[in-house]
Structure 1
Amino acid sequence: MESRHAVPSGSPVSHDEGVLDLQRHIATFRRHFWLMAGVGAVVFVLLAGFLLQRPASYTATAEILLDSRKQNMLDVKQVGPGAAVDTSAVDTEVEVLKSRQLADTVITEKRLDLDPEFNGAIGKPSTKQSMLEKLGFAAKPQKPVEAADKVKARERMVDDVLSRLTVERSGGTYVIRIGFRAGDPVKAAAIANAYANAYLTQQLRVKLDATQTANQWLNSRLSGLRSQVEAAEAAVQRYKAENGLLSADGTTLTEQNISTLNNQLAEVRASQAEQEARLNTARRQLASGSAGDDVGEALNSPVIQQLRAQRAEVSRRVADLSNRYGPRYPDLLKAQREAADLDGQIQSEIKRVISNLSAQADVARQRTASVEASLNRTRGTLAANNAASVQLNELERNAESVRTLYQSYLDRFKQTSTQQGVEQTDARVISPARVPTSPSAPNVPKSLALAIAAALVAGVGSVFAAAALETGLSTSEEIEEALDTPHLASVPLLSSTLAGQRSSLAPIDYVVEKPLSAFAESFRNLRAAIAAGGQGKAPKVVLFTSALPGEGKTSTSIGIGRTAAMAGLRTIIVDCDLRRRGVTRAVDLKPQIGLLEVLLKGAPLADAIVLDEKSGAYLLPLNRETQTSRDVFNSPEMATLLTQLRERFDFVVLDGPPVLPVADSRVLAPRTDAVVLLARWRKTPKRAVQEALREINASGAYLAGAALTQVDVVKQSRAGYGDAGYYYKAYSQYYLD
């Protein structure tokens, strides 16, 4: 069945999630102030007493400096760990000083295992044991200490020493303070100095061990690397010899031969070109009709030059004889034959020169071909060598890598061998611990401050715990958030509105005697909220119920009924609580005819109604003697009765039973115009109210809203943030009590 809710006239106060509501927290602290004060006081007394009753102890402090400017005398890298200059390294050294190993070293060095302050097992004998010894009874032999017990005892001593130790960095410097607390000031200073010395000794020992270990490892590694270098270099040379890759001056013999043949080929090709050019020139001259006299080689030939000289001499003689004698002169003819013979010799010599040029050109071509053939063969060899060089390069790279690795290890071995024996620590003591003159504990100001801080934390924690354990509803805001229904009004606790005074009047009578009081005004506010939240019109028949008994339901029903009647409304209050008969008891009525007689026996309504002379309201009580198990509220007679009441009255108040114990209110609710759910301030569990609300919604009734009852307005004004009552002090003088 669909539930119906009233729409509040004003939107509820909303708070953004995640935003700190300071006023709400202040109100919470004000509400639980005395709890917070009590818990804080107890914690302060207990903790301050405990801290101030501790035995006196003394703290001595030594200071060491991590020397970041220290130079290595041998100008080589150190093998062992050294203190760096960055913050993380300084913090690391602080943790080293806090190590269990260093604490164990100090225990051994200072023989703290024999000191009763650190080893409780060797403390003074118990009182019982001392009395037995005085009476002559021998002490029971102690059981032999097992190895596991010794280890545990040693670990307890280490824990004790570490608990007394304080190691801290001095600001952003490289100075580390080592503090130690003991019952004796001299002992505290001695152990603090022992810690500083043990730390320096440990640093030196670590470096020495690291150097020795490095030397041993490097030496063993060098032996293996030396063999690898020799094997790799031998493999390179062997491969070169097998593949003809021997080289000189960085190049192979084949590459050198190719370079030489390339030079030779260039020379023979130039010579061939020259010879062919001479031959071709001579042949062109002869082909052009020349007798060969103008051929360059002929001109340069000594034989031809000599023959031409002789031919010139003979020509001169021929010319002379021709001028002097006739053509048939014997000497002339002889001279002419000599000239012809010389011309033939010259031509023969020219032909021989041409033939020689051809032969020289042929020789040049043959030389060129020979050099080219040798070059081609050598290039083939080079190609084969290049293919073999791939494997050679791999062998050489392997040899070079092994050689480099061997050299690096050899250099490092020399450095570490030189460094061994001259190790230095990276820290030094700059201020030994001095014997303290005053105890460091108990520190009264610090102890009191700690006790106050703990008291505040405990007090605040108790407030939050109490707030978390609260199950009731305190403010209108909580109602609207928890129930998702409007908050109509809050009915105060009468005594809280009297400013410490007492009233002899009952609350239901107080609204009549003090109509302008804050108590009476709360009922007018409730009625106004119900009327404003109606579905288009003010509800006439209103059922007042609660989740559990004892919520102030009956007082609220009577109070709102009387104030409505005093305001001029024709009002009737109907006692619908068949078991408790709250209204009937409250006004002290003993009727013979009541609600059940009207519903079950058909008694006239007029005979059952009683006038409340104090306020002018009418009452429909219950006969205390009449009982029934019938479902009277679901009967037609009840529907008829409600119709009659609507016709005769302006405002009908139904005082119903609680929702959770009995079903009467759930049955009656749908027949009414509105239902008001009451919850006692800070008492009624929130889950119970939510369950009652669910039951009312399931019945299909119209829920006008919820109201708080018995609200202590004084407390609400101090801690009721989120509710109108939080501002009660601002408007309390407005009422006339």
Structure 2
Amino acid sequence: MDAQVDDTFGQQDVGGSASLDVNRLIAAFKRRLRLMIGVAAAVFLLVVLVTAQMTPKYTATAEVLLDPRKEAVAEMQSVVSQLPASTQAVDTEAQVIQSRSVAEKVVAKLKLDQDPEFNPDADTKPGLLDGLKAFAKSLAPKASIDANNSEIAQRKHEKVVDSVIKGLTVKRVGLTYLIDVSFTSKDSAKSAQIANAFADQYLLSQLDAKFDATQQANEWLNGRLADLRVQVEQAETAVGQYKIANNLMSSQGATLVEQEISNLDQQLATTRAEQAEADARLNTARRQLAQGSTGEDVGEALTSPVVQQLRRQRADVTQKVADLQGRYGDRHPEMLKAQRQLADIDAQIKQEISRIISNLSAQAEVARQRTASVAASVGQSRGNLASNNRDSVKLNELQRNADSVRLLYESLLNRFKETSAQQGLEQTDARVTSRARIPTKQSSPKVLINFAAGLILAMGAGIAAAVVAELLSSGLGTAEEIQDRLGLPALGSIPSLHTMIERDQNSKIKAVDYVIEKPLSSFTEAFRNLRASVLFSKVGQAVRVILITSSLPGEGKTTSSICLARTMASMGSRVVLLDCDLRQRSVNRMLGFEADVGLLEVLNGTATLAQALVHDKLSGAVVLPLAKGAYTPKDVFGSAAMQNLIKTLRAEFDIVLIDSAPVLPIADTRVLASLADVVVVLARWRKTPLKAIESTLRLLSPSAYVSGVALTQVDMKAQSRYGYGDPGYYYRSYQKYYGG
């Protein structure tokens, strides 16, 4: 009969699927309302106390803008480039602002290591213990003391920096280039001062970084230029020496040999032209003479002033001969003289032409010799040029090396001039757009927000406490839970009497007497319901012997047994109640009598049944009690006498009720259970652990028939408020139905 446990908070199987029963959920929270209110009140009170104890703090905020726009004072490339306008850059700068290096500068500038808010030791006065420590240090070696003091001072400084960083908050404003630099302090003025100090130190750190970078660049460039200057001088000296050594001197971009060859080529062309011209004049003159010419038509003769003069003379003489011939005839002396004179002139012209031809031949020979000489010079120069070209390969290598070193030197020299000019012109990549002002309102604690959060937290804690309490609850509260968790019928719910008695009624009346004095009350009706449930629990079989038990002590077995016996007797049944709890003898105490003989005496044969039976005058029920001091450790319930007694009582009475001991601590009940027709297990409302009931059912199951479970000591007022799933949930609806 293992229990089938379901979710108390309203989860149940309906047709194989889980569904939420809202009424059960509400009822569960109603059950834990006091716990919820108590936990919520405690949490809220704790929040109020913590808020009241918190030291007021103030937050001041400075606003820094990462400005991508820069003033172009000088059109020169900076050593450190500007920040890129990207999200990553803004986030990075936000981290730089709250970096430890900036915080250390702020601590040093504002001397925060002397502020008690950040350094608790700054406000501590030396005491006796400090004096003893100082005396102990004085006995230690000086080197050890110095090292220890340095380490302690460093640790204190680090703690101060950590404390300052803890009060700093740096965040980007949305997706803009703005960064809020906030600082929280106990002093409003101090918070503004430190926030502004962080913003200022961040800007100074940017300038310092750029200044240091520029200075380092200048130092590096200066050293590099000195090295390159020496390299340039060495490279150029090597080029010059190589030119001198290999006769590679140049002028106007060409070597002297190249210039000489160029001049000789021009001279060679000129001499060859002159030679060709001289040869042409000579050959023309010779060809004309060979063709029978007198030479007068030779070009040089035509231009010769001597020939021209002789021709004029010949023309005059020829004219004179013609005149004389016409006048005197051929034989005249004058005629002959004139003819001789003409012959002399012709001879002179011929001689002059011969001389001109000879001169042309001489000029042609000179031109040929000059051409040959120039050609020889050109050949020699070309040989020198070929040698120079071979030497120029090494020269070109030396020249390229010199040019590259010179180019690098000039480039670094220009960069050095630029970086030198930039010193003092460094600009930050950010600016403070709004300096922090002294706050007029505290930033923490935020009383209203704390109270609102505390209220929410209290409500959540209350609900969580209710959920945890309900989940940890192991008791049974409703008939539905009995059926779902144990798989047994719920026989009824027996209320706790004090929860049903009104204020104007006698609250001192006993429960066992209440069923007699108030036969029409709902309390008595609960036992009538229990009677009906038990008697009809075995379909088709009469129930005569009923064992009433529970898992643990204090669950109302004896009270329920007496009330049930009196209720049955009042309804006309012959009822006998056996007190089988050998250790308690509670029936005697509750009914207010002491018996001289009882159950054990009957079983031992020292008394008869008639002598031991006690009649209840109020109800008519019969009681077989336990006599005082009659306890025996023998297994009396498993004896034949006990079996015979049950048979005898079954024959004489309509109902035999057995009030037994709890099942878990006492083994006698399991023996008695085998003698009863049915066993009624009582469980205290929301108190008896479910595991205890399950263990009880496992112990009884081999030899007894358990008709079901009945709840006892039910708080009807509470059950009517949140006992959803139980008839008591409707107690307020039918409460007035009962007359008393």
TM-score, normalization: structure 1? 0.61
Aligned in 2, Cα 1:92/1:687: closer, same or farther, shift over 3 Å? farther
Task: Give the drift of 1:20.
Answer: 6.5
Aligned in 2, Cα 1:527/1:125: closer, same or farther, shift over 3 Å? same
SS of the counterpart of 1:523? helix
Q: Which moved more, 1:455-464 or 1:555-564?
A: 455-464
Task: Give the drift of 1:557.
Answer: 1.0
- In structure 1, distance between residues paired with 2:487 and 2:209: 72
- Aligned pair 1:505/2:506, yes or no? no
The corresponding residue for 2:316 is none
Aligned in 2, Cα 1:604/1:21: closer, same or farther, shift over 3 Å? same
Aligned in 2, Cα 1:456/1:537: closer, same or farther, shift over 3 Å? same
- In structure 1, distance between residues paired with 2:77 and 2:479: 82
- In structure 1, distance between residues paired with 2:713 and 2:120: 63
- In structure 2, distance between residues paired with 1:719 and 1:581: 36
Q: Which moved more, 1:632-641 or 1:584-593?
A: 584-593
Match of 2:521 among 481, 499, 517: 517
Match of 1:435 among 438, 445, 462: 438
Aligned in 2, Cα 1:122/1:584: closer, same or farther, shift over 3 Å? closer
Aligned in 2, Cα 1:657/1:202: closer, same or farther, shift over 3 Å? same
Match of 2:452 among 426, 449, 471: 449
The corresponding residue for 1:489 is 492
SS of the counterpart of 2:491? strand
The corresponding residue for 1:678 is 682
- Aligned pair 1:565/2:569, yes or no? yes
The corresponding residue for 1:620 is 624
Q: Which moved more, 1:527-536 or 1:703-712?
A: 527-536
- In structure 1, distance between residues paired with 2:439 and 2:582: 85
Match of 2:154 among 144, 151, 158: 151
- In structure 2, distance between residues paired with 1:485 and 1:537: 18
For structure 1, which runs of at least 5 residues remain unmatched after alignment?
A: 133-137, 221-409
Contact 1:4–1:701 under 8 Å retained in 2: no
The corresponding residue for 2:182 is 179
Partner deviation per Cα, 1:179-203 (whole Å, 9 max, x = no partner): 1122333332221122223344556
Task: Give the drift of 1:556.
Answer: 0.6
The corresponding residue for 1:556 is 560
Task: Give the drift of 1:519.
Answer: 0.9
- Give the counterpart letter for 2:86 in structure 1: A
CA RMSD of aligned residues (A): 4.6
Task: Give the drift of 1:492.
Answer: 1.0
- In structure 2, distance between residues paired with 1:78 and 1:540: 105
- In structure 2, distance between residues paired with 1:460 and 1:199: 49
For structure 2, which runs of at least 5 residues remain unmatched after alignment?
A: 139-144, 225-407
Match of 2:544 among 528, 540, 547: 540
The corresponding residue for 1:714 is 717
Contact 2:576–2:657 under 8 Å retained in 1: yes
Contact 2:58–2:443 under 8 Å retained in 1: yes
Aligned in 2, Cα 1:53/1:598: closer, same or farther, shift over 3 Å? closer
SS of the counterpart of 2:12? coil
- Give the counterpart letter for 1:663 in structure 2: A
Aligned in 2, Cα 1:115/1:587: closer, same or farther, shift over 3 Å? closer
Partner deviation per Cα, 1:614-658 (whole Å, 9 max, x = no partner): 223332323335333221221223233333333443332211111
SS of the counterpart of 2:62? strand
- In structure 1, distance between residues paired with 2:127 and 2:611: 93
Partner deviation per Cα, 1:406-428 (whole Å, 9 max, x = no partner): xxxx9xx99xx899879876654
- Give the counterpart letter for 1:552 in structure 2: G
SS of the counterpart of 2:634? coil
- In structure 1, distance between residues paired with 2:631 and 2:124: 84
SS of the counterpart of 1:671? coil
Aligned in 2, Cα 1:722/1:163: closer, same or farther, shift over 3 Å? farther
Aligned 1:111-190 pairs, distance under 5 A: 111-123=111-123, 125=125, 146-171=149-174, 173-190=176-193
Task: Give the drift of 1:676.
Answer: 1.6
Aligned in 2, Cα 1:173/1:463: closer, same or farther, shift over 3 Å? farther
The corresponding residue for 2:86 is 84
- Aligned pair 1:588/2:592, yes or no? yes
Contact 1:80–1:210 under 8 Å retained in 2: no
SS of the counterpart of 1:634? coil
Partner deviation per Cα, 1:473-492 (whole Å, 9 max, x = no partner): 44445545554544322211
Partner deviation per Cα, 1:102-131 (whole Å, 9 max, x = no partner): 43343234332233332222226369899x
- In structure 2, distance between residues paired with 1:124 and 1:603: 91
Contact 2:2–2:486 under 8 Å retained in 1: no
- In structure 1, distance between residues paired with 2:566 and 2:10: 31
Aligned in 2, Cα 1:119/1:563: closer, same or farther, shift over 3 Å? same
Task: Give the drift of 1:511.
Answer: 1.0
| Count of aligned pairs between the two proteins | 528
The corresponding residue for 2:48 is 48
Match of 1:15 among 8, 12, 15: 12
The corresponding residue for 1:63 is 63
Task: Give the drift of 1:4.
Answer: 10
Aligned 1:298-447 pairs, distance under 5 A: 427-447=430-450
Partner deviation per Cα, 1:363-406 (whole Å, 9 max, x = no partner): xxxxxxxxxxxxxxxxxxxxxxxxxxxxxxxxxxxxxxxxxxxx
- In structure 1, distance between residues paired with 2:490 and 2:217: 83
Task: Give the drift of 1:157.
Answer: 1.4
SS of the counterpart of 1:572? strand
Task: Give the drift of 1:14.
Answer: 5.5
Aligned in 2, Cα 1:59/1:490: closer, same or farther, shift over 3 Å? same
The corresponding residue for 1:333 is none
Contact 2:59–2:185 under 8 Å retained in 1: yes
- In structure 2, distance between residues paired with 1:511 and 1:490: 15
Contact 1:59–1:439 under 8 Å retained in 2: yes
- In structure 2, distance between residues paired with 1:696 and 1:49: 55
- In structure 2, distance between residues paired with 1:432 and 1:672: 92
Match of 1:663 among 647, 664, 667: 667
- In structure 2, distance between residues paired with 1:97 and 1:728: 70
- In structure 2, distance between residues paired with 1:700 and 1:189: 85
- Give the counterpart letter for 1:184 in structure 2: D
- In structure 1, distance between residues paired with 2:76 and 2:721: 79
Q: Which moved more, 1:513-522 or 1:562-571?
A: 562-571
Aligned in 2, Cα 1:625/1:59: closer, same or farther, shift over 3 Å? closer
The corresponding residue for 1:644 is 648
Aligned in 2, Cα 1:183/1:612: closer, same or farther, shift over 3 Å? closer
- In structure 1, distance between residues paired with 2:720 and 2:199: 64
Task: Give the drift of 1:602.
Answer: 8.1
Contact 1:180–1:191 under 8 Å retained in 2: yes
SS of the counterpart of 1:632? coil
Aligned in 2, Cα 1:560/1:178: closer, same or farther, shift over 3 Å? same
Aligned in 2, Cα 1:182/1:569: closer, same or farther, shift over 3 Å? same
- Give the counterpart letter for 2:194 in structure 1: I
Q: Which moved more, 1:725-734 or 1:36-45?
A: 36-45
Contact 2:602–2:612 under 8 Å retained in 1: yes
Task: Give the drift of 1:160.
Answer: 1.7
- Give the counterpart letter for 1:572 in structure 2: V
- In structure 2, distance between residues paired with 1:467 and 1:505: 34
SS of the counterpart of 1:15? strand
TM-score, normalization: structure 2? 0.60
The corresponding residue for 1:332 is none
- In structure 2, distance between residues paired with 1:51 and 1:540: 69
- Give the counterpart letter for 1:640 in structure 2: N
